[in-house]
């Protein structure tokens, strides 16, 4: 029996990266998966799940569009009879805006990012919760970021949107008081995904790939499966008493204030 056997999971942003890794992992643990994304990559995710013997369907749509989110939730219920897990994972980066001066950014720039990164999770919680309430329980997960904890891990618009997600899971867990529904977040550090591809490509082109993640104690970047494993715990009944929390998975980056001139630990006599 898998850890999610008999459960139905809706995952947005499942066309690549963390979303794809999670959809495949959840399916391998017995969940019937509704994988959604704005891109056609979500269809490849579902093909890979089917090839491994899992159950999944794909849907396209915009995580920041309420009609699309309503359709995703309704399809999960109509296709599989219930909804147990919903992961608002879809997000966008600041893109070129993040390289502009704070004083040069526009409200329109911020609105586009906030619509997907913050309003999107709100919409997922709002509609997934309504499908879960009759069951008396459920797990909703939202992707935040270490950038939402403090300065230094992302541009201002992206960081503000993810800080909002951290507060949203706290607020939503209280708003759903007495329903049995848990709402938690995950704060990834630097993970190799489509969103961070330019960072990794630039480092590889310069021959500095070994410096990626050098500021965290593990001195490396993370992999999508490492975030998926954390989400699997939050989605499962093993986390039945975990609610309103934002789990940080960042190699230890956020456990410290910046320290200059630090090198690897040396044992005496080494």
Residues classed as catalytic: 158
In the chain, what is the straight-line distance between the N-terminal and C-terminal CA atoms, in Å? 48
Q: Helix %, strand %, coil % for the chain, to 5?
A: 50, 15, 35
**DSSP for 17-57, written as a single string:** HHHHHHHHHHHHTT-EEEEEESSTHHHHHHHHHHHTT-EEE
Q: How far is CA 144 from CA 112, 116, 118, in A?
A: 17, 12, 9
Token reading at 178: 């007495």
H or E segment to which residue 183 belongs: strand 181-188
């Amino acid at each position: 029996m898998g850890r999610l056997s008999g459960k139905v999971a809706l995952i947005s942003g499942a066309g690549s990266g963390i979303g794809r890794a999670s959809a495949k992992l959840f399916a391998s643990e017995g969940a019937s998966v509704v994988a959604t994304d704005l891109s056609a990559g979500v269809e490849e995710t579902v093909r890979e799940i089917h090839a491994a013997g899992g159950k999944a369907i794909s849907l396209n749509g915009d995580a920041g569009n309420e009609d699309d989110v309503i359709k995703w939730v309704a399809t999960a219920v109509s296709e599989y009879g219930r909804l147990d897990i919903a992961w608002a994972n879809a997000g966008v980066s600041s893109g070129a805006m993040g390289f502009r001066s704070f004083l040069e950014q526009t409200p329109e720039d911020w609105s586009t990012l906030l619509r997907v990164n913050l309003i999107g999770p709100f919409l997922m919680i709002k509609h997934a919760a309504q499908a879960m309430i009759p069951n008396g329980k459920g797990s909703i997960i939202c992707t935040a970021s270490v950038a939402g904890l403090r300065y230094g891990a992302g541009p201002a618009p992206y960081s503000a949107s993810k800080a909002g997600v951290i507060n949203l899971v706290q607020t939503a867990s209280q708003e759903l008081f007495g329903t049995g529904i848990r709402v938690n977040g995950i704060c990834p550090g630097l993970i190799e995904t489509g969103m961070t591809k330019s960072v990794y490509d630039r480092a590889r082109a310069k021959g500095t790939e070994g410096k990626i993640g050098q500021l965290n104690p593990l001195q490396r970047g993370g992999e999508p499966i490492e975030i998926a494993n954390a989400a699997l715990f939050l989605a499962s009944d093993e986390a039945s008493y975990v609610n309103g929390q934002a789990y940080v998975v960042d190699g230890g980056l956020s456990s410290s204030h910046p320290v200059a001139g630090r090198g690897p630990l040396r044992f005496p006599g080494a």
